[in-house]
Amino acid sequence: MFIDGRTLPAGTVIETDIAIIGAGAAGITLARELRDSGRDVTLIESGSLELDADTQALYEGESGAVEYPIAESRLRYFGGTTNHWGGWCRPLLPLDFDGRTALGIPAWPLTRAELEPYYRRAQPICQLGAFDFDDWEPWHARMGLTPMALPGDELVTRFFIYSPPTRFGETYREDVAKAANVRTYLNSNVTEILPNAEANRIERLKVATLGGNGFEVRPKLCILATGGIENARLLLASNSVQAAGLGNGHDLIGRYFMEHVTAPGDVAAIALADETRIPYYYLHTPDVDQASMRAILMPSDAYLKRSNGLSISLSLYAAHKPGAEPKADTKQLEPAVIAMLRSLEGDAKDGMIYGVACALEPIPSAENRVTLTRERDALGLPKSKLTWRPTRAERDSLTGNLGALARAFGAWGGAVKVLLPEGTDWADDEIGWGNHHMGTTRMADDPKQGVVDGNCRVHGIGNLLIAGSSVFPSCGAVNPTFTIVALALRMADHIKGGSLG
């Protein structure tokens, strides 16, 4: 059932077993999974079923370092940011869960093996085809695909499988609407999460609408699922009992914000004399089963361990013929490079220049953080300020990884030009991002290291859970939505099993 919160009489009190704040990928997955749980579920969504400018404006905030599109990078209505996501899916790698101390990347309190069954259940939810992200054999058997035989052991081919992309708000609207035990309150904004005097249990949620009325939700269990920036914002703003913010006894909430570093343009160019050598599934996203796929290049585990480097995903596309579209002098040598490479091919193909785009694993840094400003939004909630800037170490790792790309393609008969200047720190116009907001309420067994425990329960607050990418202690080099859904499924199982109250 959908209920417009603006129609509730002011002062209404809603008692519920489980309150879920936020109806994005995590919140909707949880609501669907809890349909037959026998628990009364209240799903509270700030927006309505369509985008509304005034509601979206509640996301507006400040950038403290890199000028970041803090409002535009997410969507505040039923379905959340899945209303505009690109659909890139693949699970984190086992190595991503292990942590790498020398880089300051913490381990997760759970392993890939523990999350594996939930990834497999997330597969149909995200409307993906087969669960074949790393293994060539199924692709070869189905479609005759074979990998590029790049020499060396530094780079390997892996796959992204693309969701259509699933718009959770549209695709699962009916499921949520028809669930007898789920009531969804639209146009309803939680403005404070109120605990008891000891701050070890959540008692009430203050809810306000832009229409001016307010009501209250009293949950036995509360799940915060409003995204990587908003989760931190709401906890920091919930300071009636704990002045530093709810669950913020160790000054961790908002810190360790992570983003995948990309670049506004290509990070490298690859020249090949034979334009038929890179298979089309590295350059395009062909349809397979219900979805589409793309082969990408990533560093091997062995290389990452050897180089002490960060993970990266490298995607290729055919950019232009050699020397075409010359910009200043940057492409003057392309025909010469191709002429040189023909010494290895021995035929008269035209050659091709390929562009390389990347998503780089970030190093979690306490200085990259979400804080509150003095300015308030239309509901009186402090606005968020996002201070994020990738580090020199990340840049150095990126250029190191591009060196591996150069070695692999060079030994394969190609040539690589790194387009990012080496030996310098980031210039503002070199920094791109994936609109992935992660890490601000990160997961750790030790309350001094993380906001939530391995079950995504806030340390010290028995009935407050956090869902979404804000709990990621690290994030590899892959898009977060698939992992968000897998973690939500795991949380739902734990709730239904009674282990989370």
Complex with another protein: residue 367 or 422, whichever CB lies closer: 422
- Is 403 an interacting residue with respect to another protein (CB under 8 A)? yes
357 binds another protein, rule: CB under 8 A: no
Those residues whose C-beta lies under 8 Å from the C-beta of residue 327, and which sit 6 or more positions away, are: none
CA angle, 362 as apex, 360 and 368 as ends, to 5°?
A: 140
Regarding 143 and contact with another protein (CB under 8 A), the answer is no
Q: How far is the CB of 413 from another protein (least distance, A)?
A: 7
Tokens representing residue 333 in the block: 């040598």
The phi, psi pair for 444, rounded to 5°, reads -160, 150
Three-state DSSP class for 437?
coil
**Quick one: 134 or 350, whose CB is closer to another protein?**
350
Shortest distance, position 91 Cβ to another protein, whole Å: 32
Q: What is the SS3 assignment for 163?
A: coil
**Under the criterion CB under 8 A, does residue 101 sit at the interface with another protein?**
no
Query: Considering beta carbons, is residue 415 or 458 the nearer one to another protein?
Result: 415
What's the min distance (Å) between Cβ of 304 and another protein? 19
CB atoms within 10 A of CB 196: 12
| Residue 54 vs 329, nearer CB to another protein | 329
Tokens found for residue 22: 């936020």
Q: Is the bond preceding 165 in cis, omega lying within 30 degrees of 0?
A: yes
**In the range 233-272, which residues lie near another protein by CB under 8 A?**
271
Cβ distance to another protein smaller for residue 151 or 211: 151
Residue placing its CB nearer to another protein in the complex, 277 or 342:
342
- CB of 338: closest distance to another protein in angstroms? 8
Closer to another protein at the Cβ: 70 or 337? 337
- Which of 38, 346, 497, 498 touches another protein by CB under 8 A? 346
Sign for the CA dihedral angle at 470, 398, 308, 132 comes to positive
Residue 152 binding another protein, by CB under 8 A? yes
Phi, psi values for residue 430, rounded to 5°: -95, -10
Residue placing its CB nearer to another protein in the complex, 268 or 464? 268
Residue 340 makes CB contacts below 8 A (sequence gap 6+) with: 415
Tell me how far apart the terminal alpha carbons of the chain are, to the nearest angstrom: 24
* Minimal distance, residue 221 CB to another protein, in Å: 55
Alpha carbon distances (Å) from 467 to 21, 114, 150, 259: 10, 17, 39, 18
Number of residues binding to another protein, judged by CB under 8 A: 27
Q: What is the CA radius of gyration of the chain?
A: 24
User: Minimum distance between the CB of residue 397 and another protein, rounded to whole angstroms?
Assistant: 17
Q: Could you tell me how far CA 58 lies from the centroid of its own chain? A: 21
400 binds another protein (CB under 8 A): no
Instruction: Tell which positions 306-345 bind another protein, by CB under 8 A.
Output: 332-333, 335-340, 342-344
Among 204, 250, 320, 407, binds another protein (CB under 8 A): 407
Residues 409 and 270: their CA atoms lie apart, in Å, by 8
CA angle 455, 461, 463 (to 5 degrees): 70
Contact pick of 204, 400, 406, 493 for another protein (by CB under 8 A): 406
Decide: is 1 part of the binding site for another protein (CB under 8 A): no
Footprint of another protein on 409-428 (CB under 8 A): 410-411, 413, 415-419
Beta strand pairing call for 214-224 and 464-466? parallel
**What is the contact surface with another protein in residues (CB under 8 A)?**
151-152, 271, 332-333, 335-340, 342-344, 346, 348, 403, 406-407, 410-411, 413, 415-419
